[in-house]
C-alpha cells in the first residue's frame, strides 16, 4: 500500500488499498464495472449471551436501527459515488470496460473460490445456491 502519493499526482483524491489520497488525475480512464467495491455494508457484532439477555423489543429496535443505518450509508455512498463519477467524466476521464479476458478470469477465480468454500461450509453452500437461483431467474 502506498503511504503517500507520488508528488507528480497533484491535488484531487484517490483510493489505494482502502486509504484515501489526494491527487488531480492519476490516469485518463477508469475501468468498469467496479464490482469489487460496490459499497461496504455495516456490521454489528453483539455477544450472543448478552443478546439473549435483551428483551425481544430491544432486540427488534437494534435490528431495525442497524438495518436503517446500513440502508442510509449505502444510499449516501451511491449518491456521492455517482456525483463523483460525473465530475470525473466532465473533467475528461473516460470510462472503459474491462477486457473480456479479465472478466472471464475474474469469473473463473470467483467460481473456484465459491466451489472451495461450498465444499467446506454447508451454510456458505446454501447461501450461494440461493443467490445463484435468484441470479438465474
Vertex 36, ends 32 and 74: CA angle to 5°? 100
Q: Could you read off the pLDDT of 49-80 as tens digits, one per residue? A: 999 999 999 999 999 999 999 999 888 888 88
Mean pLDDT of 5-16: 47
Q: How far apart are CA 82 and CA 64, in angstroms?
A: 27
Cα angle value 121/127/132 (rounded, 5°): 120
This prediction's pTM = 0.52
Where do the structural domains in the chain lie, given as residue ranges?
Answer: 99-137
| % of the chain residues with pLDDT over 70 | 75
pLDDT tens-place string over residues 22-46? 444 456 777 777 666 656 678 889 9
Amino acid at each position: 500500500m502506498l503511504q503517500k502519493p507520488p508528488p507528480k499526482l497533484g491535488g484531487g483524491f484517490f483510493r489505494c488499498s482502502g486509504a484515501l489520497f489526494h491527487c488531480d488525475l492519476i490516469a485518463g480512464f477508469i475501468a468498469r464495472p467496479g464490482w469489487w467495491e460496490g459499497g461496504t455494508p455495516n456490521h454489528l457484532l453483539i455477544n450472543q449471551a448478552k443478546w439473549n439477555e435483551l428483551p425481544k423489543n430491544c432486540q427488534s429496535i437494534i435490528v431495525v436501527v442497524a438495518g436503517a443505518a446500513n440502508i442510509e450509508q449505502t444510499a449516501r455512498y451511491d449518491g456521492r459515488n455517482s456525483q463523483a463519477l460525473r465530475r470525473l467524466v466532465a473533467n475528461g476521464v473516460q470510462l472503459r470496460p474491462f477486457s473480456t479476458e479479465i472478466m472471464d478470469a475474474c469469473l473463473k477465480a470467483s467460481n473456484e473460490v465459491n466451489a472451495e468454500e461450498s465444499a467446506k461450509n454447508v451454510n456458505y453452500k446454501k447461501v450461494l445456491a440461493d443467490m445463484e437461483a435468484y441470479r438465474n431467474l
